[in-house]
Amino acid sequence: MDEVQRSRKPLIFYYGIFMLILMLFNFIVLPWILQRQIREVDYGTFMSMTENSQIGQVQVQHNQIIFTNKENTVLYKTGIMNDPGLVDRLYSSGAEFTSEIIEQMSPFLSILLSWVLPIIIIIGVGQYMAKKFMNKAGGGNALTFGKSNAKIYVQSLEGIKFSDVAGADEAKESLTEIVDYLHNPEKYKEIGASMPKGVLLVGPPGTGKTMLAKAVAGESNVPFFSIAGSEFVEMFVGMGASKVRDLFKQAKEKAPCIVFIDEIDAIGKKRDGNFGGNDEREQTLNQLLTEMDGFEENTGVVILAATNRPESLDPALTRPGRFDRRVPVDLPDLKGREEILKVHAKKTKLAEDVDFNKIARMASGASGAELANIINEAALRAVRDNRYLVTQADLEESIEVVIAGYQKKNAILSDEEKWAVAYHEIGHALVAAKQSNSAPVQKITIIPRTSGALGYTMQVDEGDRYLMSKEEIENRIATFTGGRAAEEVALGSMTTGASNDIEQATKLARAMITRFGMSEEFGMVAMETVNNQYLGGDTSLACSAETQAKIDKAVVAIINKQHEKARKILMDNRGKLDELAKHLYEKETITGTEFMEIVNA
Ligand code: ADP
């Protein structure tokens, strides 16, 4: 797509440039040109011309003498000599003393160079810039403040289409209607149906919201205005509002078209009664609300907006008549992940052994942007190794790079630490494997990563999971505690390596009680609410202090019970634990198959 951005230089900028050019001409170019016209002669010639009364005008400067012939047609210069009677001799020869000899010599040239030429240049450059930037951007005047700096993507053949957006079938389906409307608004007008003015795309970062909006424009073959919510908010109060006005004015001129506002929560946050709030943001929001009400239905302008914090939006913005349609764009499921990988791998040269299904299963929970990144990392790895094809191993390694960072080449663990990490990781894997409901282990490694992980156990689910039973959650908690349990069982000590496991196990156990209603004591009462569904899912407690204390106790009880279970599993399989840990210690990375062979041997 051709991207065109509007110029927004204020008037003062152009005045500045004009003055600069003017000064340049008057102080440098003009004197230089005139200097070049002057003929240099020796002092003797000057003296004899004075004797013979051949001098017309003369100007004695501190380091040179400039003079003309009697007819004032030729300009001469010569150096200064210690010549006391010079002035008298010049006077008696009839020379005319002057201080502006050069300007008088060529008044026309000097006016031309110092005034006319700079003006012509400025007008020429101005015209060129105006033509270049304005025409495509829909006309308008560059010399004004408060212009929206929306980028316009003028439709071209390489525009993004729905087929470029893999997965997200439901979202595409809802948006197809918009495309149809933009193609054929009459059909809708006739029957009296009106298109939603605004569509809100909500979902976690990197799931393809921007891409979908571009694809709508690409499919409908209409101009696409794109602006980020934060671009409206400026230092000066009132600028945001004027940008909104300008954006809608442009959009209406270009209708049918699509306006895309990314990260709309930057301006669309709930207005609250707090003093010292952000005036600028509120004014901008108010203007947006007014503009959205202001344009009639079926004008052909459709506003798409994206956010990953829909709960923070002002209710006035999401009411029918403004953003009345909400399209969720969720993290891709297994099939979606596989498709996204395939779309991004189109340009990549792949080896025969690449199995996208397996990669998609390994990358559970990854967003479209992360999957695109995985493919790219794999390609980079192949280049680093001087290979022409991307292999399955490249892809698997790049998942680890995206999840855990690069391998730390020179992190040296002491022998003791290495044993501790080996036992820790085998502890997780063995507890997972011995509980029938846990997912099988894909890979265990004790090579430190740049993320700080000293080792990890990678589990791969067979398919997508939408529900988890209470037992499965408990087993998962037991698996989290398995690392520490192995250290205790085998080494009789504890290390700091379990901190992340502890955090995750605690989160799960707490959620069991406060959100999933899985404890007998509290039953189906919500004690916690999720704040940012799409951004990490922080929670806030909504219960009394006494209940909180009780919940804490219950969480401890759940985790202790699972920890005990994990310890028991490991003690019952002490032989295997030692054998596996030794194997891992020696090889540093073992696959799931190797692991299971030893377990089942
Ligand atoms: P968002 O706006 O939701 O944060 P983007 O639309 O900017 O995400 O997506 C970022 C990048 O991720 C895209 O440029 C694309 O390469 C990749 N991507 C995300 N989702 C998909 C998808 N469904 N199909 C193909 N590529 C995707």
- Which is more confidently placed, 357 or 31? 357
To the query of whether residue 425 is one of the catalytic residues in this protein, the response is: yes
Give the end-to-end CA distance of the chain in Å, rounded to a whole number.
60
Q: Which residue's CA is the nearest one to ligand 1's atom 9?
A: 208
Segment 393-428, tens digit of pLDDT = 999 888 888 777 777 666 677 888 889 999 999 999
Query: Which residue type, as a one-letter code, is found at position 4?
Result: V
pLDDT at residue number 237: 65
- Which is more confidently placed, 234 or 309? 309
Mean pLDDT of 378-392: 92
Does the pLDDT at position 132 exceed 70?
A: no
Mean pLDDT, the chain, rounded, equals 82
- Residue 205 alpha carbon, nearest atom of ligand 1: 4
The verdict on the CB of residue 306 being under 6 Å from ligand 1 is yes
* CA 355 / ligand 1 centre spacing (Å): 22
pLDDT at residue number 220: 81
The answer to whether residues 165 and 172 touch, using CB atoms and an 8 Å cutoff, is yes
The verdict on the CB of residue 54 being under 6 Å from ligand 1 is no
Q: Which residue's CA is the nearest one to ligand 1's atom 12?
A: 369
What sign results for the dihedral spanned by CA atoms 360, 365, 367, 372?
negative
Q: Which of 282, 291, 370, 425 is catalytic?
A: 425
Neighbour count for residue 152 (Cβ, 10 Å):
23
The verdict on the CB of residue 210 being under 6 Å from ligand 1 is yes
What span, in angstroms and rounded, lies between the C-alpha atoms of 246 and 262?
A: 17
The verdict on the CB of residue 209 being under 6 Å from ligand 1 is yes
The verdict on the CB of residue 390 being under 6 Å from ligand 1 is no
**Percent of the chain whose predicted confidence (pLDDT) is above 70:** 86
Tally the C-alpha atoms within 13 A of residue 354's C-alpha that lie toward its C-beta. 21
Encode 234-270: b = buried (16+ Cβ within 10 Å), e = exposed. Answer: beeeebbbbbbbbbbebbbebbbbbbbbbbbbbbbbe
What span, in angstroms and rounded, lies between the C-alpha atoms of 509 and 479?
A: 13
Greatest mean pLDDT range, 17-31, 174-188, 333-347, 393-407: 333-347
Q: Which residue's CA is the nearest one to ligand 1's atom 5?
A: 208
* CA 56 / ligand 1 centre spacing (Å): 81
- Residue 212 alpha carbon, nearest atom of ligand 1: 6
Q: What is the CA radius of gyration of the chain?
A: 39
Partners of residue 67 on adjacent β-strands? 58, 76
Partners of residue 323 on adjacent β-strands? 198
Which residues of 406-509 form beta strands (DSSP E)? 441-445, 456-459
- Residue 166 alpha carbon, nearest atom of ligand 1: 24
Q: Which CATH superfamily is domain 151-328 in?
A: P-loop containing nucleotide triphosphate hydrolases (3.40.50.300)
* CA 238 / ligand 1 centre spacing (Å): 33
Mean pLDDT of 68-74: 81
Query: Which residue type, as a one-letter code, is found at position 255?
Result: A
Q: Which residue's CA is the nearest one to ligand 1's atom 27?
A: 368
Q: How confident is the model at residue 139 (pLDDT cuts 50, 70, 90)?
A: very low
- Residue 208 alpha carbon, nearest atom of ligand 1: 6
The answer to whether residues 152 and 322 touch, using CB atoms and an 8 Å cutoff, is no
- Residue 168 alpha carbon, nearest atom of ligand 1: 23
Q: Which residue's CA is the nearest one to ligand 1's atom 18?
A: 368
Does the pLDDT at position 368 exceed 80?
A: yes
What span, in angstroms and rounded, lies between the C-alpha atoms of 19 and 6?
A: 24
The verdict on the CB of residue 166 being under 6 Å from ligand 1 is yes
pLDDT at residue number 26: 75
Segment 321-365, tens digit of pLDDT = 888 788 888 888 888 999 999 999 998 899 888 999 988 888 878
- Which is more confidently placed, 169 or 560? 560
The answer to whether residues 303 and 199 touch, using CB atoms and an 8 Å cutoff, is yes
Does the pLDDT at position 464 exceed 50?
A: yes
- Residue 336 alpha carbon, nearest atom of ligand 1: 23
The verdict on the CB of residue 165 being under 6 Å from ligand 1 is yes
Degrees (nearest 5) of the Cα angle 336, 339, 340? 85
- Residue 306 alpha carbon, nearest atom of ligand 1: 2
Greatest mean pLDDT range, 135-139, 264-268, 370-374, 440-444: 370-374
* CA 315 / ligand 1 centre spacing (Å): 27
Q: Which residue's CA is the nearest one to ligand 1's atom 11?
A: 369
The verdict on the CB of residue 340 being under 6 Å from ligand 1 is yes
Q: Which residue's CA is the nearest one to ligand 1's atom 15?
A: 369
Does the pLDDT at position 184 exceed 70?
A: yes
* CA 300 / ligand 1 centre spacing (Å): 26
Decide if domain 334-404 falls under CATH 1.10.8.60.
yes
Distant-in-sequence, close-in-space partners of 171: CB < 8 Å, separation ≥ 6 = 201, 212, 327, 328, 329
- Residue 329 alpha carbon, nearest atom of ligand 1: 3
pLDDT at residue number 138: 41
* CA 224 / ligand 1 centre spacing (Å): 17
* CA 258 / ligand 1 centre spacing (Å): 19
* CA 211 / ligand 1 centre spacing (Å): 6
The answer to whether residues 302 and 199 touch, using CB atoms and an 8 Å cutoff, is yes
pTM: 0.67
Return the best residue to mutate from 160, 170, 172, 211 for the ligand 1 pocket (most ligand atoms within 8 A of CB).
Answer: 211
Decide if domain 38-105 falls under CATH 3.40.50.720.
no
DSSP label at residue 205: T
Q: Which CATH superfamily is domain 415-600 in?
A: Peptidase M41 (1.20.58.760)
Helices (H), 200-278: 209-220, 239-254, 265-268
What sign results for the dihedral spanned by CA atoms 52, 58, 60, 63?
negative
The verdict on the CB of residue 208 being under 6 Å from ligand 1 is yes
Query: Which residue type, as a one-letter code, is found at position 30?
Result: L
* CA 367 / ligand 1 centre spacing (Å): 8
* CA 388 / ligand 1 centre spacing (Å): 26
The verdict on the CB of residue 372 being under 6 Å from ligand 1 is yes
Parallel, antiparallel, or unpaired: how do β-strands 64-69 and 151-154 relate?
Answer: unpaired
Query: Which residue type, as a one-letter code, is found at position 229?
Result: G
Return the best residue to mutate from 160, 207, 261, 371 for the ligand 1 pocket (most ligand atoms within 8 A of CB).
Answer: 207
Segment 499-549, tens digit of pLDDT = 889 999 999 999 999 989 998 888 888 888 877 777 777 778 888 888 899
The answer to whether residues 332 and 364 touch, using CB atoms and an 8 Å cutoff, is no
The verdict on the CB of residue 167 being under 6 Å from ligand 1 is yes
Domain positions in the chain are 38-105, 151-328, 334-404, 415-600
* CA 206 / ligand 1 centre spacing (Å): 5
The verdict on the CB of residue 368 being under 6 Å from ligand 1 is yes
For residue 102, which of 190, 180, 17, 26 has the smallest C-alpha distance?
A: 26
